Amino acid sequence: MTDSSSSAAHVLRAASGDFDFAVMGILNVTPDSFSDGGAYEEPSAAIAHGRELIAEGARIIDVGGESTRPGAPPVSPAEELRRTQPVLEALGPEAAAAGVQISIDTSKAQVAAAALAAGASLVNDQAALRYAPEIAELVASSGADLCLMHMSGDPRTMQRDPHYDDVVAEVKRFLEQQLRFATDHGVPEERVLLDPGIGFGKTVEHNLALIARLDELLALGRPILIGTSRKSFIGRITGRDTSGRLAGTLASNILAYEHGARVFRVHEVAPLVDALKVTTATLRQAR
């Protein structure tokens, strides 16, 4: 069983001393992720980078073994396990000693189960239980946390002319439905995070609307996780490639914080931690 002190709610409360946010560092151990594919494919490089993310102030490390970039091919559970397990087993004890939560970014029950056994305490399911509904009961029985993300279609199809009548209302309805499914299958509501899925089957306008209207998603009563890091909508607005999107990433996350998001999934941890500390302190002074 996962100790309750490692829950996402606890991590958020203890995030950065007096600050009410948690930064989730992205640790892709894949050859084909959209902006850092192959950089941390070797376990030794991934483990070293995980340590860097912890030192930079990440309160959650999200380990992923399958790319979800547009058009990415699926990988088998065995391959995903081969990529992630050495990293999870090495980083788990160090993260626990530092009070940092380990997350597994997967939509496969087999991979989630192995990660939880290796010390992860959060399952970041970008399919929100659509592919593997049994993840809900697995999370419930382990005492872990669960992040449910909205994605239209799958990584192979999600950017083929995405359409919504009202993107915020439709994302909210989906997240509410999947939250209810999770709680009906034993996951305590206080252990669930919700992610509107910026960039997953959305246009630039859809992404901006979701950030601007996050208060509507907050009405579901759960913490909101935002993942804008290096996303293509930032490139479309700024004209920058993935290596030049840090400023846009920071801006989008600061705006998301002001609209109510409190967990932020990024590649560059230290700049965002600093930016959010200044934002938080300034807003507190203004109250």
| pLDDT in 10s for each residue of the chain, 287 residues | 344 444 555 555 444 456 899 999 999 998 755 555 556 778 899 999 999 999 999 999 999 999 877 767 788 999 999 999 999 999 999 999 999 999 999 999 999 999 999 999 999 999 999 999 999 999 999 999 999 999 976 655 555 667 899 999 999 999 999 999 999 999 999 999 999 999 999 999 999 999 999 999 999 999 999 999 999 999 999 999 999 999 999 999 999 999 999 999 999 999 999 999 999 999 988 77
Q: Could you give the 3-state DSSP secondary structure of residue 125?
A: strand
Alpha helices of 128-261 — where are they, by DSSP H?
135-142, 167-184, 204-212, 214-218, 232-238, 246-258
Q: In the 3-class helix/strand/coil scheme, how is 9-78 assigned residue by residue?
A: HHHHHCCECCECCEEEEEEECCCCCCCCCCCCCCHHHHHHHHHHHHHCCCCEEEEECCCCCCCCCCCCHH
Nearest to 150 by CA among 180, 129, 119: 129
Nearest to 24 by CA among 107, 133, 101: 101
Indicate which residues carry an active-site annotation: 231, 265
Nearest to 96 by CA among 64, 59, 63: 59
Q: Could you give the 3-state DSSP secondary structure of residue 7?
A: coil
* Identity of the residue numbered 130: R
Give domain limits for the chain. 4-286
Indicate the fold that domain 4-286 takes in CATH: TIM Barrel (3.20.20)
